[in-house]
Every structure is written in structure tokens, then in C-alpha cells.
Amino acid sequence: MRKRKRQRPPTAQWHRRDSDTYQHTSHHIMPGKTTDEAAEQVCRRCNEIPSVLVVRLEPLCQQCFARYVHTKAIKRLETFRVNFHTNEERKVLLPLSFGVSSTTLLHILDLHLKTQMSKTGRTGFALSIVAVGDVQGTLPTADLLESVRKQYPGYEYAELPLHDVFSVIPNDSALRHLLPDAAGPLPTTQDQLVRLIDSLTSATARADVLSTLRTRLIVEHAKTAGCQSILWGDSTTTLAEKTLAETCKGRGFSLPWQVSDGKSPFGVYFHYPLRDVLKKELVSYIGLAESGLSSLVHDLSSGATQASTSSKNTTIDDLMKQYFESVEENFPSIVSNVVRTSGKLEMPANADSDPRCGLCDMPVPGGRFGIHGWGGYQQDDVESSSKSTRNICYGCTRSLPQNA
């Protein structure tokens, strides 16, 4: 006789979780949402307190949800455990943008250091915090940083204007040769930054160059401050956005250093403690935390990012951000899969000996600079040859103006 195929119970539904396992549930609840169904259920972890939201199909109470986020972050900091065999304390740098992710990471690190001190009498690392101002001056960096300092005292704080990147990098750096030609000298570093940004012809180019300069300034500050590592506040969603955005810009070769934990080409280590937490979950964390934490976030908008109605003002980063914020609403596993896949990329063995790009300072494998080096769009031979002689990678070549 032919075997009868076993049927699943008709009254229940089966949902696949991000860990590729299956969970049996009787209701379909979207991840990260506070719903009536969640309020009627008991927390699945403590089985005592009513749940306040559902995280990846699991109803959690406020305490268990906070523990869930903390555990996701702290397990990425195993290398920073308390070391009783040495008196030397490691120093790490946290770049603070006053967004949801970096502010949450600061709060978690503060709790983690206090826990280490209470249990062992010492901490595994010393925390230094830096905030970089924006070019337009619309971000009240000084006021925001002072509020953070009052709530989290005892740490080292620094505020840097973005144009400091031209003063902390050596004078013979290739970065200075990228400034457009002008009739007169540039007396200040702020004038140099304004001239470079004004020469960029698209919104994507401006956003790309500003992000690159910000990263280089943070790295140089970390070296000056004696920090061994930089703890970036990128969430799973942010890392997924960066993966596709950098690939679209032609800088995919640098992804192993931009999305993975490990030693960077700059001589310091990069770590992403929130790489397993979605941005939506961090927004919920901020909303459920004490009121003092949400006041430190400059823009606590939980809605989806809206792209500009004008294509001239729309950047690749904005499009990727809008896409992944909409995807994580109903399909968080897609976002996680992008990050897990990109995390498998390996750094080239001989990257330290490869020549560097004059703008992003990333090692370029095989010295394949400019448009011709990567076999891209080659219509403008003059543009390609002039930029490749200055050791500019393909991604930075597309951002810089022809006369750079």
C-alpha cells in the first residue's frame, strides 16, 4: 500500500524564523510590532509577565526584550572581557551620531561596563566617545554631546568638526591633491572642505565623499587617542544598506572591512556589536526605555525613510535605506541574510601591501585604479586617465569631479 502523506494541523500555521528553524504559532504577528495579540499573550521567555511586543514571532515583555537586545550586542564583545592577567586596559572608540543605533549602543556599553565593575571590580575596556559635526551646521553637536555627558559621566568625550580631516592627515597625503584647482590659496581647513564639496556635481557624490571623510577623521582620532578598536553602531539594517550601496557605487572590494568584525586597513580594529539587531528593534528599544534615553536621540522618527521627490536630490544611500526599512517590516530574514552573506567575504591576504586609494584610503587589489582598472564605463578617456594616475579607486572616481 502507498504511504499516506502526513498533513500539518489545519488549525495552525508554520512560520520560518531567521535562524532557519520553524516555530509553531496559532497567530501570524508581524515582527517588532506591538499588537493586540501581543498584549493578550504572556512573555514566552519568563512565562510570567504579559508581552508588550512580538519580536521575530516571539512575544516578549519589556524586561526580556531589553535582555534580548543586550545579549545580541554583548555576545559580539567577547574579546573585551575582563583580563586579570594584565593591568593594561584596552581603549575603544564609539562614534556617536545621535541616532537610534549609536545612542542605544552607548547605553548598552554603559550598562555592560557597570556590570563588569560590580562583579569583578574592574572593566574590560575604557570607553572614549567622539561626535563629528556636519558640514551645514544643522546638527547641534555641542548641545547634544553635553546632554550625553551629563547622563553618562566618567567617559572621555571629544567633538570634532568634519574639516579637521585635512589637519589630522599628513600634509603629503593624496587627499590634499584632490582639491579642485583655484586661483588663490586656502587659508583654513574649512575652506578646503567647502571647496571640495562645492565641486561635487551630484547628491550621491556629496553624500559619498562626506561619509568617506567622516570615517577617515574618526580613524585618525582613534589613533591619536590610543584606541585599539572602533565600535560602530551599525544595525543589521544599516549593514544591509551599506552592502548594496557600496556595491552600487563600485566600492564592493572594500566590503570585508566595512561590514565585518576584524582588523581594518587603517591599523585599528572595526567591530559592529549591533550587527544582529534590526533597526526596527532598536526603535522599539528606545521607545520602551526610560525617557532620558529617547531625549538623547536627535531624530527619533520611526517611520520609513522617504526618498526625495527630485531625482537630483536622491542618493543611492537614501534609496537603499528606504528599501531595507520597508523590507524589514515584513521580511526581516531577507535583511539578515544580506548581512550574513556579506559577512562571509574575506579580506585579501596581501591587502597591507596593496596601493591605497587617495580618497577612501582602502587597499585596491592589483592596483586597478580608475575607470579602466575595473572595466566600467569608459566613454571619457581623459577623465579615466587623469584620475587613475592619482590612485583613485573606481567608486571614488565616479564621485570626484573631472578637475580633481
Cα–Cα dist 23/328, whole Å: 19
User: Residues 243, 259: contact at Cβ < 8 Å?
Assistant: yes
| pLDDT confidence of residue 31 | 45
| pLDDT confidence of residue 60 | 92
User: Residues 109, 123: contact at Cβ < 8 Å?
Assistant: no
Q: What is the domain count for the chain?
A: 1
Low-confidence ranges of the chain (pLDDT < 50): 1, 3, 5-31, 35, 303, 375-389
DSSP code string of 38-100: HHHSBPTTTSSSBPSEEETTEEE-HHHHHHHHHHHHHGGGGGGS--TT-SPPEEEEEE--SSH
Residue 372 lies in a domain: no
Of 110, 109, 89, 107, the closest CA to residue 99 belongs to: 107
Residue 36 lies in a domain: no
Cα–Cα dist 383/30, whole Å: 50
Question: Do the bridges between strand 58-60 and strand 269-271 make them parallel or antiparallel, or are there none, so unpaired?
Answer: unpaired
| pLDDT confidence of residue 187 | 73
- Structural domain of 114: 79-279+289-300+314-352
Provide φ and ψ at 53, rounded to 5°.
-160, 165
| pLDDT confidence of residue 37 | 52
Cα–Cα dist 63/52, whole Å: 10
User: Residue 263: beta bridge partners?
Assistant: 269
Residue 151 lies in a domain: yes
| pLDDT confidence of residue 185 | 67
Is 47 buried (19+), middle (13-18) or exposed (0-12) by CB count in 10 A?
exposed
Residue 35 lies in a domain: no
Cα–Cα dist 158/386, whole Å: 38
CATH of the domain at 116: 3.40.50.620
Question: Do the bridges between strand 90-95 and strand 125-132 make them parallel or antiparallel, or are there none, so unpaired?
Answer: parallel
Residue 329 lies in a domain: yes
User: Residues 70, 111: contact at Cβ < 8 Å?
Assistant: yes
How far out from the chain centre does Cα 111 lie? 21
Residue 255 lies in a domain: yes
| pLDDT confidence of residue 244 | 96
| Residues 6+ positions from 219 with CB-CB distance below 8 Å | 230, 264, 266, 268
Residue 14 lies in a domain: no
Residue 27 lies in a domain: no
